[in-house]
Structure 1
Amino acid sequence: MYDRVKDVTLLIGRVAVGVVFLAHGLQKWDAGLDGVTGMMGGIGVPLPTLSALFLIVIETVGAVGFILGAALPVLGVLFAVDMVGAIFWVHLDAGLTGQGGYELVLVLGAAALALGFNGGRFSLDHLLVGRRRARKAELQTA
């Protein structure tokens, strides 16, 4: 029973983190590549067009993949990179807490990284890869 509860909590965590990224990604999607590029350039991010494209794609397409549990380790790392950039380019001067602080950004990055490497059995990664690995391990120990 513990394993099932653990997998459900991992699914809830993945969906919650993914929905937050998706909400932010859709805001960027609505602003368009030019709008996000302008924002990136305005705060001094290098390669603003490439950075804007990365953010729009990872926070929309990547968020859907994260919710579904696909390519979790890759997405977890990319979300962490996204959040490190947000901390250093946008939120650092505001401090950890308070208006514009980086506490949410820090938690989102850490949660995405942790869930990326432990997405649970209710994920596409487990369905496509995890079951094969489990069977192979069972055969080796038998």
Structure 2
Amino acid sequence: MYARVRDVTLLLARIGVAVVFIAHGLQKWDNGLDATSAMFAKTGLPLPTAAALFAMTVEILGSVAFIAGFLLPLVGIGYAVVGIGALLSVHVDNGLTGQGGYELVLVLALTGLALGFNGGRISLDHLLFWRKRERPKLGEPVPA
């Protein structure tokens, strides 16, 4: 029973993190690539158009994959890259807490990274890649 509770908890955590990233990605989408690139350029990010396209892709498409549990490590790394970029380019001067602080960005980036490598069994990754490896070999006892 503990394993089921853990897997449901991990699924809920993935959904929660992904919803926040989707919201940020849709803000960028609504602003458009040009406006998002201009905002990234103002913050000093190199290759602002590529960075904006990367952030929008990770935050929207990556989040849909994250909820489904597909390519979790890849999306988790993407979340960390986007989060570190936001932290260093926008939030670091505001300190850890307070208006514009980086506490939320830091928690989201690291939680996304952790869940990317520990997403639970309720995921497409588990169904497609890991379940086969967990099957007991002939003659081994079946795990409970």
For Structure 1 versus Structure 2, the TM-score category normalised by the shorter chain is over 0.9
Distance 1:126 1:92, change over 3 A: same
Amino acid at match of 2:21: F
TM-score (norm 2): 0.94
* Map of 1:57 onto structure 2: 57
Q: Is residue 76 from structure 1 mapped to residue 84 from structure 2 by the alignment?
A: no
Taking the aligned partners of 2:76 and 2:137, their CA distance within structure 1 comes to 30
In structure 2, how many angstroms separate the alpha carbons of the residues matched to 1:130 and 1:17?
Answer: 23
Deviation at 1:140, TM superposition (A): 7.5
Matching of residues 11-26 of structure 1 within 5 Å: 11-26=11-26
- Look up the equivalent residue of 1:7 and give its one-letter code: D
Q: Counterpart of 2:97 in structure 1: which amino acid?
A: T
C-alpha distance in 1 between matches for 2:57 and 2:138 = 40
In structure 2, what residue type is equivalent to 1:33? Answer: L
CA RMSD of aligned residues (A): 1.1
Name the counterpart of 1:124.
124
Cα shift at 1:130: 1.5
- Aligned positions of 1:66-105 closer than 5 A: 66-105=66-105
**How far apart are the structure 2 equivalents of 1:119 and 1:42?**
35
What fraction of aligned residue pairs are identical, expressed as a percent? 59
CA 1:140–1:87 in 2, change beyond 3 Å: closer, same or farther?
farther
- Distance in 1 between the 2:26 and 2:114 partners? 24
2:137 aligns with 139
Q: CA deviation at 1:127?
A: 1.0
Cα distance between partner residues in 2 of 1:141 and 1:31: 59
TM-score relative to the length of structure 1: 0.96
* Runs (5+) with no aligned partner, structure 2: none
Q: 1:47 to 1:5 in 2, by over 3 A?
A: same
Offset of 1:108 from its aligned partner?
Answer: 0.2
